[in-house]
């Protein structure tokens, strides 16, 4: 593997090519990163640790008991020592995310050095940018979008193809589909082993305001957010109880606006033959053909059309 330069040089490369780093999307930063450091080589823990080494960073596994509970990893800059730490027990996918996340966070002060007019991201924005950068490196936009359509928006299939967590798949789907079409994705999980409540742990929504119904959907969201519980008799509850996929059509009416027709597909996700998560994807009914590969593969139970008046 031929690797050139180091992280400050890469930041300089971005500035020379695009100008202000703020004008460069995380997807484009990720594309340049792959080209600059990895070329056509696979992205895995070994290759990313090598990239970190070339950039002057040591990568070290830390036992979970010695890692703060709320953290998956972190970095330290002490004198000439630069370290990236990750959980020893983490999955290969999780370690990849951690290394890329920390690299992106360390790029912020470097942008100031190579572009003095740059205004660094503040508060939680660097963390969010680092998450998106890591996902964009691991799940390149064009390739991933093609796989979304090929699988029929199947979260389980995409997770298997890319060896990534369900949560990362759902969130990345919403990112790459932004401005392409309306999409709502969510993951439901039980609060704990004894609980009967299934709640949203991750969700995302993309929007194309030029689509029929796009403007109506964009005014305020009608979709549940993180922490919301699955309603009795919902697609989620039905999927959990039967361990089968369920398909439902919704007609949403809002005063003064044209009715919007939606199609939702809930797919149970298993561990040792037990349902432990449910993935929900929702599109405009006009886009139902995109779900065809998943519908044909999972043969969902079709529920009656539900009318919602808001």
Task: Say yes or no: 57 and 115 in one domain.
Answer: yes
Beta-carbon neighbour count of residue 301 at 10 Å?
15
Residue ranges making up the domain that contains 34: 7-138
User: Could you give the residue ranges of the DSSP H alpha helices within the chain?
Assistant: 7-18, 26-33, 45-54, 92-114, 125-138, 141-151, 155-162, 166-177, 214-219, 235-242, 292-298
Task: Label residue 299 exposed, middle or buried (CB < 10 Å: 0-12, 13-18, 19+).
Answer: exposed
**260: exposed, middle or buried (Cβ count in 10 Å: 0-12, 13-18, 19+):** buried
Residue 273, domain CATH: 3.30.450.130
225 with 94, same domain?
no
How far apart are the C-alpha atoms of 103 and 50, rounded to whole Å?
13
Alpha carbon distance 53, 301 (integer Å):
51
Residue 1 located in a structural domain: no
Does residue 182 share a domain with residue 236? yes
| 226 falls within a domain | yes
Which residue from 57, 16, 58, 14 is spatially nearest to 34, judged by alpha carbons?
Answer: 14
Give the pLDDT confidence score for residue 213 in this predicted structure.
58
Q: What's the domain count of the chain? A: 2
Give the global pTM. 0.90
Alpha helices in 78-227 (DSSP H): 92-114, 125-138, 141-151, 155-162, 166-177, 214-219
Separation CA 231–CA 224 (nearest Å)? 10
- Summarised one tens digit per residue, pLDDT across range 151-160 is 999 999 999 9
pLDDT given at position 191: 78
End residue of a domain, out of 138, 159, 180: 138
The reported pLDDT for the residue numbered 1 is: 39
Residue 184 is assigned to a structural domain of this protein: yes
Asked if residue 200 is part of any domain, the answer here is yes
Lowest mean pLDDT among 75-89, 114-128, 208-222: 208-222
Q: Is 264 part of any domain? A: yes
Q: Is 261 part of a structural domain of the chain?
A: yes
């Amino acid at each position: 593997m031929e690797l050139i330069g180091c992280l400050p040089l890469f930041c300089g490369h971005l500035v020379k090519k695009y100008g202000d780093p703020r004008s460069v999307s995380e997807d484009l930063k990720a594309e340049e990163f792959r080209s600059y450091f990895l070329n056509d080589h696979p992205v895995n823990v070994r290759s990313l640790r090598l990239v970190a080494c070339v950039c002057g960073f040591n990568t070290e596994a830390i036992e979970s008991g010695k890692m703060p509970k709320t953290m998956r990893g972190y970095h330290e800059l002490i004198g000439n020592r630069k370290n990236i730490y990750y959980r020893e027990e983490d999955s290969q996918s999780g370690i990849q995310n951690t290394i890329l996340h920390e690299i992106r966070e360390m790029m912020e002060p470097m942008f100031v050095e190579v572009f003095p007019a740059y205004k660094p991201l503040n508060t939680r924005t660097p963390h969010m940018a680092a998450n998106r950068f890591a996902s964009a490196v691991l799940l390149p936009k064009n390739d991933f979008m093609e796989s979304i359509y090929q699988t029929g928006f199947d979260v389980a299939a995409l997770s298997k193809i890319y060896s990534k967590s369900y949560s990362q798949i759902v969130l990345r789907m919403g990112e790459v589909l932004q401005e392409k079409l309306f999409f709502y994705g969510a993951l439901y999980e039980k609060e704990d082993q004894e609980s009967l409540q299934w709640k949203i742990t991750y969700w995302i929504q993309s929007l194309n305001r030029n689509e029929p119904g796009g403007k109506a959907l964009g005014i305020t969201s009608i979709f549940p957010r993180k922490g919301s519980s699955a309603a009795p008799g919902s697609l989620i509850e039905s999927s959990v109880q039967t361990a089968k996929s369920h398909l439902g059509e919704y007609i949403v009416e809002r005063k003064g606006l044209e009715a919007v027709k939606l199609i939702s597909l809930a797919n149970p996700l298993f561990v040792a033959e037990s349902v432990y998560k449910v993935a929900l994807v929702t599109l405009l009914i006009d886009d139902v053909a995109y779900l065809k590969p998943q519908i044909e593969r999972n043969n969902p139970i079709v529920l009656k059309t539900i009318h919602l008046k808001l």
